[in-house]
Amino acid sequence: MSKKIAILGSTGSIGTQALEVVDAHPDRFEVEVITANNNVDLLAEQAIKYDPNIVVIANKEKYSELSEALANTDIKVYAGEEAIAQVVQNDSIDIVLTAMVGFSGLLPTVNAIKAGKQIALANKETLVVAGDIITRLALENKVSILPVDSEHSAIFQCLAGEFHNPIEKLILTASGGPFRGKNVEFLRKVTRCQALNHPNWSMGDKITIDSASMMNKGLEAIEARWLFNVKPQDIEVVVHPQSIVHSLIQFEDGSLKAQLGLPDMRIPIQYAMTFPERYKTDFPRFSFLDYPELTFEKADPKAFRNLDLAYQAMGKEGNMPCILNAANEVAVDGFLKQKIGFVEMSDIIEKTMMKASFIAQPTLDDYIQSNTEARAIAEEIIIK
For residues 156 and 259, membership in a common domain is answered with: yes
pLDDT tens over the chain, length 384 residues: 799 999 999 999 999 999 999 999 999 999 999 999 999 999 999 999 999 999 999 999 999 999 999 999 999 999 999 999 999 999 999 999 999 988 889 999 999 999 999 999 999 889 999 999 999 999 999 999 999 999 999 999 999 999 899 999 999 999 988 899 999 999 999 999 999 987 776 677 888 999 999 999 999 999 999 999 999 999 999 999 999 999 999 999 999 999 999 999 999 999 999 999 999 999 999 999 999 999 999 999 999 999 999 999 999 999 999 999 999 999 999 999 999 999 999 999 999 999 999 999 999 999 999 999 999 999 999 987
**Angle at which helices 364-383 and 320-336 pack, to 10 degrees?**
40
Q: Is 202 a member of any domain?
A: yes
CB atoms within 10 A of CB 231: 12
Residues 249 and 359 in one domain: no
Regarding whether 168 and 196 lie in a shared domain, the answer is yes
- Same-domain pairing of 18 and 143: yes
Residue 283 lies in a domain: no
Residue 346 lies in domain: 317-384
In a domain, 346, yes or no: yes
Quote the pTM value. Answer: 0.92
164 and 223 co-located in one domain: yes
Residue 311 lies inside a defined structural domain of this protein: no
78 with 213, same domain?
A: no
- Ranges of H-type helices in the chain: 13-24, 40-50, 63-69, 81-87, 106-114, 125-140, 150-158, 184-187, 192-195, 205-213, 215-227, 266-274, 305-316, 320-336, 344-355, 364-383
Looking at residue 146, its amino acid is L
- Examine the domain organization and report whether 381 and 239 are in the same domain: no
Residue 279 belongs to some domain of the structure: no
Number of domains in the chain: 3
**166 and 118 housed in the same domain:** no
Pair 23, 140 in one domain: yes
Both 143 and 154 in one domain: the answer is no
Note whether residue 305 is domain-resident.
no
Is 274 part of a structural domain of the chain?
no
Domain shared by 138 and 219, yes or no: no
Q: Does 89 map to a domain? A: yes
- Virtual torsion, Cα 319, 321, 323, 328, nearest 10 deg: -170
